[in-house]
Amino acid sequence: MSRFVLVTPDVNFDGRLRQAVEGGLQGGVETFFTSVLPADPHELFAPLDQDFPEVLILGPEVPVDDALRLATVLDVSFPELSVILVSEPDPAFLLQAMRAGIRDIISPASDPAQIRVLLERACQSFASRHRSQEPKQSGSPDTPKGLVIGVFSPKGGVGKTTIATNLAIGLGKIAPMSVVIVDLDLQFGDVASGLYLNPEHTVTDAVSPAAAQDSLVLKAFLTVHPGSIYALCAPPTPVEADEIAPEQISRLLEQLAEEFQYVVVDTAPGLPEIGLAAMERCTDVVWVSAMDIPSVRGLRSGLGVLRQLNILPETRHVVLNMADAKAGLTVQDVESTIGAPVDVSIPRSRAVALSTNRGIPVLQEPVKDPATKGLRQLVDRFNPTWRAQAQRKVHRRVVV
What string of DSSP letters covers 254-317?
HHHHHH-SEEEEEE-SS--HHHHHHHHH-SEEEEEEESSHHHHHHHHHHHHHHHHHT---SEEE
Q: Which residues pair with 323 in a beta bridge?
A: 347
| Antiparallel, parallel or unpaired: β 262-267 and 284-290 | unpaired
Cα–Cα distance, 17 to 338 (Å, whole number):
54
Region of 129 (left: φ > 0; alpha: ψ -120 to 50; beta: rest) is alpha
Integer Cα distance of 376 and 89 in angstroms: 37
Q: What are phi and psi of 260, to 5 degrees?
A: -125, 150
Listed residue (331, 333, 307) closest to 321, CA to CA: 331
Give the per-residue pLDDT at 136. Answer: 38
Indicate the CATH number of 147-388 among 3.30.420.40, 3.30.450.40, 3.40.50.300, 2.40.50.100. 3.40.50.300
Distances (CA, A) of 109 to 17, 106, 201, 326: 11, 8, 19, 53
Query: Rounded to the nearest 5°, which phi and psi values hold at 191?
Result: -60, -40
Helix (H, G, I), strand (E, B) or coil at 250: helix
Gyration radius (Cα) of the chain, Å: 23
Contact criterion met (CB below 8 Å) for 265 and 151: yes
Length of the chain in terms of residues written: 400
Closest residue by Cα to residue 25 from 124, 109, 120: 120
Distance, CA of 308 to CA of 392 (rounded, Å): 30
Cβ distance 228 to 186 under 8 Å? no
d(CA 1, CA 319): 49
Among 262, 257, 195, CA closest to 227? 195
Predicted confidence at residue 389, as pLDDT, reads: 66
Query: E strands of 37-94, at which residues?
Result: 55-58, 82-86
State the Cα torsion 24-25-27-29 to the nearest 10°: -90
Question: Hey, is 232 helix, strand or coil?
Answer: strand
Superfamily of domain 4-133: Response regulator (3.40.50.2300)
Type of residue found at 19: Q
Q: Where are the domains of the chain?
A: 4-133, 147-388
Q: Tell me the three state secondary structure of residue 201.
A: coil
DSSP 20: H
Question: Smallest Cα–Cα separation from 265: which of 278, 246, 252?
Answer: 278
- 3-state DSSP: the chain helix, strand, coil percent, rounded to 5? 45, 15, 40
- Please tell me if the domain spanning 4-133 has the same topology as the one spanning 147-388: yes
CA distance 353 to 362: 9
Query: Would you say 232 and 203 are in contact if contact means Cβ atoms under 8 Å apart?
Result: yes
What residue type is 358 in one-letter code? R
pLDDT value of position 132: 47
Query: Residue-wise pLDDT tens for the chain (400 aa)?
Result: 568 999 999 999 999 999 999 887 888 899 999 999 987 777 887 777 666 788 999 999 999 989 988 888 887 778 888 999 999 877 777 778 877 888 888 899 999 999 988 888 888 777 766 554 444 343 334 546 899 999 998 888 889 999 999 999 999 998 888 999 999 999 888 999 999 998 889 999 999 888 888 887 888 888 888 888 999 999 988 888 888 999 999 999 999 999 899 999 999 988 888 988 998 899 999 989 888 888 888 888 888 888 777 777 668 898 888 887 777 778 888 888 888 888 898 988 888 888 888 889 999 988 888 889 999 999 999 988 776 664 455 555 454 5
Q: Which amino acid is at 183?
A: D
